Structure 1
Amino acid sequence: MTHVRLTLHGTQNTQEFRSLHRWLRDGAPELRSAGVAVRDVGEDPAPGEMGGAFEVIQLLVEHGAGWGSLAVALAAWWEAHRPRSSVTFERDGVKVTLTGAELRDEEAVRRALARLEQEDAA
């Protein structure tokens, strides 16, 4: 099982982070069937409260098909929400950051995630 941390960077990152977290969480059955688990690290904060632990989405990717399903989910989220934030994935010290233009391109997302997946073979 591969542990991946996902963070957002940008002026709207708190709102967009909550949106992405809900998107991935609500798509959990499809992601789970592909071997991806969205790990809740905190509850949604009350209006006006800081998020605390709600700053990172932790993903557990079980096998290769999960990377593709995650890429599809992220590209779909970008299409639906057109975020301003960039997304950074981190695994075992390896970081990959995607901008808005890259996030809308499912193949760009797949290539970025493939860099993290390759760490499995190393």
Structure 2
Amino acid sequence: MTANTIRIGMNGEEAGKELQSFYNWLRSDEDIRQHARVSLQWRPPQESEMGTALEAIELVLNNSFEVANLTLAYLAWRYTRREKPKVTFKRGDLEITVERDDEETMKKIIQSFKEDSE
């Protein structure tokens, strides 16, 4: 994972479905599409599973400005969700888990990732 790569994971029974939904949301955002590469990350199947499972979304960003765009896209997507999954954003060694959609948490993500990239 490079310094400009953010990995997004979710927990819960519907994690794969919610990751796919957020991935589609990101792919429909013109600013994200133009300034980031968005891909899905799969994990090998467990013994009881028939196929691979969606593990994370990976974004490769062009610059730290895109962290703010990602945060805005995330908030807009999260607002549409009836169930609000626990989401983890990881960039290098820095990991932030979001359980609420409050403004302070979002500011923390932007500031932390901005400082981490400098």
Q: What's the TM-score once normalised by structure 1's chain length?
A: 0.75
For 2:80, what is the secondary structure of its paired residue? helix
Q: Provide the C-alpha distance between the structure 1 equivalents of 2:83 and 2:114, rounded to a whole number of angstroms.
A: 25
Encode CA deviations 1:40-65: one digit per residue, 9 max, x unaligned. Answer: 446xxxxx96443x211001121122
In the comparison of the two structures, how many residue pairs are matched?
110
* Alpha-carbon shift at residue 11 of structure 1 (Å): 3.0
For 1:68, the equivalent position in structure 2 comes to 68
Gaps of at least 5 residues in structure 2 are 43-48
Q: What's the TM-score once normalised by structure 2's chain length?
A: 0.77
For 1:30, the equivalent position in structure 2 comes to 31
Percentage of identical aligned residues: 23
1:7–1:55 CA contact under 8 A, matched in 2: yes
Which is strand-richer, 1 or 2? 2
Gaps of at least 5 residues in structure 1 are 43-47
For 1:119, the equivalent position in structure 2 comes to 116
Tell me how large the CA RMSD over aligned residues is.
2.3
2:10–2:19 CA contact under 8 A, matched in 1: yes
1:41–1:57 CA contact under 8 A, matched in 2: yes
